[in-house]
Structure 1
Amino acid sequence: MESNQTKPGLLCNPEASQRTLYPYVTSVVALKYKDGILMAADMGGSYGSTLRYKSVERMKPIGKHSLLGASGEISDFQELLRYLDELILYDNMWDDGNSLGPKEVHNYLTRVMYNRRNKFNPLWNSLILGGVKKGQKYLGMASMIGVNFEDNHVATGFGNHLARPILRDEWHENLTFEEGVKLLEKCMRVLLYRDRSAVNKLQISKITEEGVTISQPYSLKTFWGFSAFENPTLGAEGSW
């Protein structure tokens, strides 16, 4: 008798809809700077272990005051954006002159992620939510199981291991826009060298009191011309 094998955690129903349980996760990195929030993400989208798409935008403005970046499953990110569109529309319908700030949107996302986790049907994303409202900068993250925190700089995926140490050493609260962009590019270059899921095509976005600006895609300068008889990581950024 043939066994009906399915992925762990799924019912043995061949007609049930199935989603990947092991998506390839790329990184988003964000930090506070003097005037607001800066966020960077590459544009890779994986199909299994294949880097199939290289023009996937993973940072989106949310309402008037917030910017969302996501790594993980693209389809789940699209589902989250649909939830947020409904949330912003419902908030605007009140027409009371008030609008949701980044803290409220972040709290909403943590509840959504935790709720889906409790239903054993999580949205397979790690999220970064940044924004500025009434002069107050806000930056937080939420994991796929609802774990969340606020900080002066945050990252998802391998960025937690490779970019955060750099940010701890070099970040300060009076970063200019140019210094912040340079620091994010350094982090993204380290991720490109070290993370096989990263691609050399990225965007950097900023959000201030004036609103959200997302850059055109561009590539970083890299160097791969190492001698076969040398240590290719010697002196490179992110080396041990």
Structure 2
Amino acid sequence: MAVPSAQYPWNTELWSNGPSPGQFYNFPGTSQQSNESDAVKRTLHPTVTGTSVLGIVFKDGIMLAADTLGSYGSLARYRNLSRVSVVNDSTVIAAGGDYADFQYLKSIIEQRVIDENCFDDGFNYTPQSLYSWLTRVMYNRRSKYDPLWNTFAVGGINNGKPFLGYVDKIGIAYTSDTISSGFGSYLARPMLRDALEKNPNMSKEEAKEVIMRCMKVLHYRDARSLNRFEIVTVTKDGAVVESPLSIKPDWSIVHQSRCSEST
């Protein structure tokens, strides 16, 4: 019940939206009593997801690749989603997993890059520094039981040396000359390792050929992949995204895997 302003003139003049004497006041954004709707909720199952991310180090830089499909469960719903991002001329990232979480983290990184440029102190994100920051962010969210449902590949060049790192949703992180996530960990990474072992001084063209071959195999075998993908390359000349790329599949091989009919 409101108190007459004649008795308490300050109630309307100085604090018109404040609590009346002898009454409780509910601050904006809070409810009078806690209920089920106040409980903290977590994402148990990502909605729109992307599949494998591939990465390889070659003689003059690094190369990452990811297709452009966003799967709504088992439905190939969105066919033009970019899962690679250029942070600056020397650093790039690519992500698999929940696309909304990737957009969220990408927006944070972009704002941090803008803030860093505003300082104008000669320092920018290097692939190592972004990789280190991502390991802390992903592990922190995992420790809160609210992980970002992504697997990130971070690549680039710093002081003339290529760098490639992997970070997943529970904070597992490592660096390597070959990176893969999702189904690509089982099918594509053995191909990447084999190619790099046979040709340690791989050129950019040779690395692209290997990546294209891996993407073709994933298109054949991974039900969540698409025959449309992006490749981002980082060399001393900067970062370049090639999109969209595709390969012509040959489905005649299906007949080779069919079991002969019993007579």
2-structure distance, mates of 1:111, 1:18: 20
More helix by share: 2
Aligned counterpart in structure 2 of residue 219 of structure 1, from 246, 250, 256: 246
TM-superposed CA distance for 1:147, in Å, is 0.5
Change in CA separation of 1:120 and 1:98 when aligned onto 2, cut-off 3 Å: same
Q: Report the identity percentage.
A: 35
2-structure distance, mates of 1:73, 1:97: 34
Structure 1 segment 98-117 matched on structure 2, within 5 A: 98-117=123-142
| Secondary structure, aligned partner of 1:216 | strand
Asked if structure 2 preserves the Cα contact closer than 8 Å seen for 1:36 and 1:206, the reply is yes
CA radius of gyration, larger in: 2
Asked if structure 2 preserves the Cα contact closer than 8 Å seen for 1:25 and 1:157, the reply is no
2-structure distance, mates of 1:50, 1:21: 15
Structure 1 segment 16-27 matched on structure 2, within 5 A: 19=43, 21-22=45-46, 24-27=49-52
Q: Does 1:46 align with 2:46?
A: no
Q: Does 1:88 align with 2:113?
A: yes
Asked if structure 1 preserves the Cα contact closer than 8 Å seen for 2:178 and 2:192, the reply is yes
Asked if structure 1 preserves the Cα contact closer than 8 Å seen for 2:50 and 2:69, the reply is no
| Secondary structure, aligned partner of 1:215 | strand
Report the TM-score, using the length of structure 1 for normalisation: 0.86
1-structure distance, mates of 2:116, 2:82: 25
Name structure 2 gaps, 5 residues minimum: 1-34
- Give the equivalent residue in structure 2 for 1:231: 257
TM-superposed CA distance for 1:178, in Å, is 1.0
Q: Does 1:200 align with 2:224?
A: no
Asked if structure 1 preserves the Cα contact closer than 8 Å seen for 2:50 and 2:99, the reply is no
Name structure 1 gaps, 5 residues minimum: 1-10, 234-240
C-alpha RMSD of matched pairs (Å): 2.1
Number of residue pairs matched? 222
TM-superposed CA distance for 1:203, in Å, is 1.3
- Give the equivalent residue in structure 2 for 1:68: 93
Give the aligned residue type for 1:180: A
Deviations 1:137-157 (A, max 9, x none): 110010001100000010111
TM-superposed CA distance for 1:135, in Å, is 0.4
- Give the equivalent residue in structure 1 for 2:61: 36
Report the TM-score, using the length of structure 2 for normalisation: 0.78
